[in-house]
Structure 1
Amino acid sequence: MNGSKESANGNDRPGATAAFPYDRTTVELFRETFLRARWNDDLKAWFVPFVVAASTACSQSDESRGAYEQSCT
């Protein structure tokens, strides 16, 4: 996911975007993981608010956390 501080509609909201080829199973898994993710038609990408992205990453097990570990402590 890419960090983003501005959405295409002009709202300054901290968060991250994720873009990947459409696949129904992938989209379902992504939406189950990031419940507040919203599709941004202008960006052609999913937008995940920062608080949700950070808390989801921090809730992962220690083995899968890796790079997120510093931001979770």
Structure 2
Amino acid sequence: MERAVNEGTECGALLQQLAALRGATNGLMAEVLESHLRETFLQSAQGSPQDPRPEPESQIDDLMRIVRSYLK
């Protein structure tokens, strides 16, 4: 991207590439976050006694829906 800017690439093409990079980065961020949440909370839930709160997996799904909608 830096080289494209320095070479005077047309603004429309730069904006398109930036949008693609942002989308890819946001998608990767969501995947890494979801993996981390599942590893962290599902492992800790397996070792704890039953409680009245919703299942951790359901909570993670809800949270990831919110995160993904924000990253769009």
The alignment's TM-score, normalised by the length of structure 2, stands at 0.27
TM-score, with length taken from structure 1: 0.27
More strand, by proportion: 1
